Amino acid sequence: MASVPLNQLSATSPTETIEQRFRRLEAAWISETGHLSSHEAIVNHPAFREIISMRDAVIPFMLQDLAERPRLWVWALPEITRADPVSPGDGGKVAKMSEAWLRWGREHGYQW
């Protein structure tokens, strides 16, 4: 697996917005993990870890993505928010997990 060096992932231009940084990291993450089935490899990728480090600033972008279609942001949101709105029976069901996170977002005043 080709991997982007962490220093390249972190290299932001002075004019890069938070969303642009998020989308750049997302693109690298998807490009390098889209073919993987290992949960650990996917969530431990340097771009994913850097997205997590952006904390609350990226929640609206993740929720916006989830509103478009279910995505693996359902694995990042619990780590960022320290919340878990997913019903126990829905764990592992990305569509149901996405719905739960969208409900959580609306209940917590997020707009996307």
* pLDDT tens digits, 32-60: 999 999 999 999 999 999 999 999 999 99
Give the mean pLDDT of 80-84: 98
Cα–Cα–Cα angle for 96, 60, 100, nearest 5°?
A: 15
Give the mean pLDDT of 75-104: 97
pLDDT at 105 over 60: yes
The full set of domain ranges for the chain reads 1-53, 58-112
